[in-house]
Structure 1
Amino acid sequence: MSLKLRSAPPWAVLVACCTAQFMVILDVTIVNVALPQMRDALGLSTNGLQWVVNAYTLTFAGFLMLGGRAADLWGRRRIFLIGLVLFTVCSLIGGLAQNGAWLITARAAQGIGGAILAPATLSLLTSRFTDPHERRRALGAWSITSASGAAVGVLVGGILTDLLDWRWVLFVNVPIGAAVVALALLAMAESRPDGAKPRLDVLGALTVTSGLAVLVYGIVGTTSHPWGSAQTLITLAVGAALLTVFAITETRIAANPLVPFSVFKRRSLTVVNAVTLSIGAANFGTYYFLSLYLQQVQKYSPLQAGLDFLPVGLSAFTGALIGTRLVVRLGVRNQLILGTAVAASGLIWIAATVAPGQSYLGNLLIPLILFGGGIGLSFTPMAMGATQGVPPDQAGLASGLINATRQVGGAIGLAAMATAASSVTSRHTASAGIPRALTDGYALAFLIAGLGLVAGMLLAFALPSASGQKHGTERAQAAPDTRKAVSARARR
């Protein structure tokens, strides 16, 4: 299927896509340090405060596949703009919230906007940059913004909350979003299929969206309902049943499936998505529990806690920047192994040494740099592996998969870590005191995140070797020339 692609300045597409992706990733963590202020201003309960974060994660994960496929079918620029406008408007509405229900609803709608927007950013880049060298550089820039966005979110959240007001962690998206909308309207080209537009697989869209949403709802709910409770088990069973119906629909019923399961025959895409589960879990868990440790145990202000995340963001940025060039030498597999191993070592170091009252410079700085640098190294090969060899008409699908996997991994990981940490804290409070008990719980959470990255590192060994990837690329590039030669001989 060919694509209509009018000329557009490459820098404009790159800037628009990277800025939009940065906003989406930023909002996963920017509210973390503002949560105590939100609780006081809006009278939120502990459970309600949790849903300020979870409402965004829930809808983001649930609608990512639909957003990715819609970009392929209806035009990437169009879907990009729809998602960006929805995300920006809901940020404004959330900043104006007068009660907890208002804020949580706005965050949920904001997550839908992010789910529509995020896959379009990556699919626009892969369709616009077709030269392997240019695509690697573009994906490197996208990876840098993705890798550093979460850490920068905590820093920006702390600065805005301390110097202005908690509402500005949401208002900050409005001028940025408006600027990106203007840039996309003026300079970004449309990319869409030729001929008649295929009908969207409605049943597949409904079952995968509702299945993921219900599944993530059940997982994040384990912080207030145990894993073995009737509510958790029933919710997870319903989510699994909906996803089973989705699988049957895609393989047996749908004429134009939302997710052609043949895409999973690509070993690189399948393995990279499995590795991404561990990266998403580690990212979500680390930012969440480190923010709590710094503010609840160390008693840091939001600004000071935010500044302490700066080395993580800088090391992630540096790692992604180096990784863009290093992946040419190491290959996707070796760099994913290296990145996850370095990040895991940082988290396991923190888990083994974290304690109340310890020095940030002496005990946390180096392992946090290792964690951030390792995650940064992982993002470029992760994006390359997920989209390598994928046809242009499935670019949105591939980018939706990788984004959905990261979000679902984050939700699963955070829920597991929160349950484990809460259990340890409850057992240790009477004997060790609150600061020590909280720290023991957080240490277990960091350990789980680190071991998850070790599992991701081991999974990465299943990827094709660098030489295998090179030969595969050469065969793919040679195929069109071979077809042309055969056609020419036939005409003669």
Structure 2
Amino acid sequence: MSKQTSKWILLIILSSSIFLSVIDIFIVNVAIPSIKKGIQGTDGDIQLVIALYLLGYASFLITGGRAGDHYGKKKVFIIAMLTFTLASLCCGMAQTAFQLNTARFLQGISAAFMVPQGITYIQVLFPSSKERIKALGIYGSIAGAASVIGQFLGGILPDTHFSVAGWRLIFLINLPLGLLFAFLAARFLKDNPPAAAEKTGRFDYAGVLLLTLGLVGLIYPLIRGAELGWPLWSVIAMGLSIVLLFIFLYDQKKKLLKGKEPLINLNLFNYKDFNIGLCAVLFYFMAQDSYFLINAVLFQTGFGISSSETGIFFVFQGAGYVTAAVISIKLIPVYGKKVLQTGVLIMIVSLIFHIIFFKSGAVNRVVLLPVLFIYGTGCGSVLPSLLTMALKSIPTKFAGAASGTFSTFQQTAIAFGIGIIGGIFFYKLGKAENTQAYLAAYQMATLANIGMLLLVSFFLWLLPDQDKGVKIS
């Protein structure tokens, strides 16, 4: 194998981290009704299956990146890959909702340590700008493919009957992949021992603890409290979590003033464009993943459509996403934020058509598939360039910190969407089991998502089209 060829083979090994971490978000979205039945869980339980993975990911993502600098990227990559694989096994063997959600949280944490190493390795393997852009394009394409494959497998596998229940296979398929790529990483990745300068910084353990407790303490009672009729403990827990998050911000500011390295560099929030971009990210991702949750439940439980057919439906949405993503990246340099604004408008119009076409309770496949494809084109016009728009005014010295903060915010926003939009859906549904009740719940939740996308449009309108480096004085 030539040196030139080996680099690209290593890229595939490194991309396995983003492939597994992304596929485990989308594969679960479609399989949620089957998982609920399999573990005899509640509506809150299945929301937590998604949310706890994301919270584990969000809370430890920045720390995961620093762990590679401190202990060595190869070592952290392999250990995190094996831990992710073990957590997947625990998910596949879970007998209760508590066991499953505990394993999902561990999956999210291990993904947070696994993914940053791959990204950092790419910077080392491809020092020239031209090759690095190509490598990152391949890396991003693999992540996009994982989202489509995840939706397909999330539909097909629960309808597959082997010696174990089909829904368990969505987690157990990670075992051969995780073990294979851990072996390949051990065999082919060049050991990258940390330089002495990289090991001088200390981990912000207090910051990680405060952020994790604050986020979990907010999302868990938000989901469980809505399900139980808002008992006193849920209200108190949410109040305490907000206090913890304020303490976290104070702690980060204090460390920054003392010259220490905080988990999140609050100087980033001095840049107005970054703040506006994060607001757009918040409302966009709250709508994006909750869309999959409520549609999967409506299709399978409300309409009685099979898991397999639901997976195929979502592949059409994914195909629209990939198509628009390829085109939109070329249009952004010419039209700027107008591409994103058009994408959001397409998503809103498509959601209105969702409500109209589902109003009767009859599913016309001929109409549904184009509507799903069109919705996907809206997503594909927005998502690939949202990071670029949010970070365009950030100085180079803050680029790494800003990217980590963006990713943390993104995962947290998805968890909030599952809690809030999913909560609206299940609250409206109540104990009813008929199609009309599902439609009423779907319409209310979808209207809420339209509201989220209108807010995205507002913040994109506020965002300058040109890079002016606006800084808050």
In the superposition, the TM-score normalised over structure 2's length comes to: 0.84
Q: Which amino acid aligns with 1:63?
A: F
SS in 1 for 2:267: helix
Which residue is equivalent to 1:211?
Answer: 214
Residues 226-256 of structure 1: per-residue CA shift (max 9 Å, x gap): 5x65333222221111111111111123522
Are the equivalent residues in 1 in contact too, given 2:284–2:456 (CA < 8 A)?
yes
Instruction: Say if 1:446 and 1:305 are closer, same or farther in 2 by CA, change over 3 A.
Output: same
**How far off its partner does 1:321 sit?**
2.1
Distance 1:390 1:193 in 2: 27
Q: Corresponding residue for 1:465?
A: 465
Query: CA 1:40–1:366 in structure 2 vs 1: closer, same or farther (change >3 Å)?
Result: closer
CA drift at 1:388 = 4.8
* Contact 1:75–1:192 under 8 Å retained in 2: yes
Q: What are the Cα deviations for residues 45-70 of structure 1, in whole angstroms up to 9, with x where unaligned?
A: 55444443343233233333433444
CA distance in 2 between counterparts of 1:393 and 1:83 reads 28
Q: Match of 2:253?
A: 251
SS in structure 2 of the partner of residue 224 of structure 1: helix
Any idea what SS the aligned residue of 2:462 has?
Answer: coil
Following TM superposition, by how much is the alpha carbon of 1:395 offset from its aligned partner in structure 2, in angstroms? 5.5
2:218 matches 1:221: no
C-alpha deviations, 1:259-298, integer Å up to 9, x for none? 1211223444433322222222122111101111111122
Shift in Å, 1:149: 3.7
Query: How does the TM-score come out when normalised to structure 1?
Result: 0.81
Distance in 2 between the 1:297 and 1:461 partners?
37
- 5+ unaligned residues in a row in structure 2: which ranges? none
Contact 1:123 1:399 (8 Å CA) reproduced = no
* Partners of 1:234 and 1:51 in 2: CA distance: 19
CA distance in structure 2 between the partners assigned to 1:180 and 1:142 by the alignment = 15
What do residues 429-457 of structure 1 show as CA deviations (whole Å, max 9, x unaligned)?
6xxx8211211111221222122122112
Residue aligned with 2:18, SS: helix
- 1:308 aligned onto 2:310: no
Q: CA deviation at 1:309?
A: 0.9
Query: Residue 285 of structure 2 aligns with which residue?
Result: 280
Matched letter for residue 182 of structure 2? V
Cα shift at 1:90: 1.0
Contact 2:20 2:174 in 1 (8 A): yes
Please name the residue that 1:63 is paired with.
60
Note the 1:107-146 alignment, pairs <5 A: 107-125=104-122, 134-146=131-143
Deviations 1:196-250 (A, max 9, x none): 4211122222212221222222333344145x65333222221111111111111
Whole-Å separation in 2 of the counterparts to 1:454 and 1:189: 48
Residue 3 of structure 1 is matched in structure 2 by: none
- The answer to whether the Cα contact below 8 Å between 1:58 and 1:217 also exists between their aligned partners in 2 is no
Alpha-carbon distance in 1 for matches of 2:182, 2:19: 14
- Residue among 238, 241, 248 paired with 1:239: 241
Could you list the per-position Cα deviations for residues 320-361 of structure 1 after superposition, in whole angstroms to 9, with x for gaps in the alignment?
222333333333x33332333322332232134323543343
Say if 1:239 and 1:444 are closer, same or farther in 2 by CA, change over 3 A. same
1:401 to 380, 401, 405: 405
Whether the 8 Å CA contact 1:147–1:320 is kept in 2: the answer is no
Distance between the aligned counterparts of 1:409 and 1:15, measured in 2?
A: 29
1:30 and 2:34 matched: no
How far does residue 15 in structure 1 lie from its aligned partner after superposition? Answer: 2.7
Q: 1:35 to 1:412 in 2, by over 3 A?
A: closer
Residues 84 and 76 (structure 1), Cα distance of their counterparts in 2 relative to 1, 3 Å cut:
same
With over 3 angstroms needed to count, the CA separation of the structure-2 counterparts of 1:201 and 1:57, relative to structure 1, is closer
Superposed, 1:472-483 pairs within 5 Å as: none
- Preserved CA contact (<8 Å) 1:37 1:166: yes
Structure 1 vs Structure 2 CA RMSD:
3.3
Aligned residue number for residue 175 of structure 1: 176
